Amino acid sequence: MCTCRVGPTARQRAAAAWLWSNRTATLAGLSASAMHGSRWVPVDAPAELVRARLDKSPRGIVIRKDTLADDEVEWIAGIDCTTVQRTAFDLGRRLDGEEPVIRIDALLNATGVPVHEISALAQRHQGARNIRQLRGVLQLVDGGAESPQETRVRLLLVKAGLPRPETQIRLGKRRVDMGWREYQVGVEYDGEQHWTNPREHAGDIGRLEYLAGLGWTIVRVSAWHLRKDPDGIVKRAAEALRVRGWRG
């Protein structure tokens, strides 16, 4: 008999933190993101509360001292949460490195909210802390990313000087994770299941043959490439683009 224990999800942790506040606080940051349906929220991240009436919190709960406008709060499943726009605004100012882009990508992918609505909110809070960082983050955000690794691949390509790729390109009955229609070059991130699951692998063969028949070149990327050979990813993508006429 399996004795494995499954811990609470990020959404469950968020709800528990709100109950701890006696239902008086507002969920924010990653906790609000989880409530909005964002995937890949770290389950070990502290729950985030705003407008809590308590100054001290137990381990695993962070209380933010923010001021929220009425239109920056909404109810989700009976729980007070920051809106998608406000949640992204906070994530973009508070997280470090590539994390804000990754988490906002996931949030927008789950909700369909456009980037310009977050930019509009930022205009209302021009004096907010780390607002310059947020503006830089929003220039890189793309809600088409369907996993953190897809975001990391896209950021790698853009920061290396390649043209910004379009995400989730629909080609007939297939899609490409990201790429450049003008040059008919795509980049696909293949998770572990693409290499270990025979059915997935067989499907990939058929899909790549279909895309090749349309004239597309596909650069395939694995977790190993991201960890061990990021320069190789850039080199292969750049070479494929140059073959198709890119002169960058």
Q: Is the pLDDT of residue 193 over 60?
A: no
pLDDT of residue 131: 98
Q: Is the pLDDT of residue 192 over 50?
A: yes
pLDDT of residue 153: 98
Domains in the chain: ranges and CATH = 10-138 (no CATH), 148-243 (3.40.960.10)
Contact between residue 45 and residue 14 where contact means Cβ atoms under 8 Å apart: no
Nearest in space to 90 (alpha carbons), one of 109, 72, 110: 72
Instruction: Phi first, then psi: give them for residue 155, nearest 5 degrees.
Output: -65, -40
Bin 76: left if φ > 0, else alpha if -120 < ψ < 50, else beta. beta
CA distance 158 to 151: 11
Query: How do residues 18-37 score in pLDDT, each as one tens digit?
Result: 999 999 999 999 999 999 99
Q: Is the pLDDT of residue 1 over 80?
A: no
Q: Is the pLDDT of residue 227 over 90?
A: yes
Q: Is the pLDDT of residue 220 over 70?
A: yes
Task: Please identify which residue in the block is written with the tokens 């528990």.
Answer: 16
The helix (run of H) or strand (run of E) holding residue 193 is helix 192-196
Q: Is the pLDDT of residue 195 over 60?
A: no
pLDDT of residue 206: 84
Q: Is the pLDDT of residue 176 over 60?
A: yes
Q: Is the pLDDT of residue 63 over 50?
A: yes
Nearest in space to 63 (alpha carbons), one of 112, 24, 102, 33: 24
- In order, the DSSP letters of 25-93 are SEE-HHHHHHHTT-S---TTSPEEEES-S-S---TTEEEE-----GGGEEEETTEEEE-HHHHHHHHHH
For the chain, the distance separating the N- and C-terminal CA atoms, rounded to the nearest angstrom, is 59
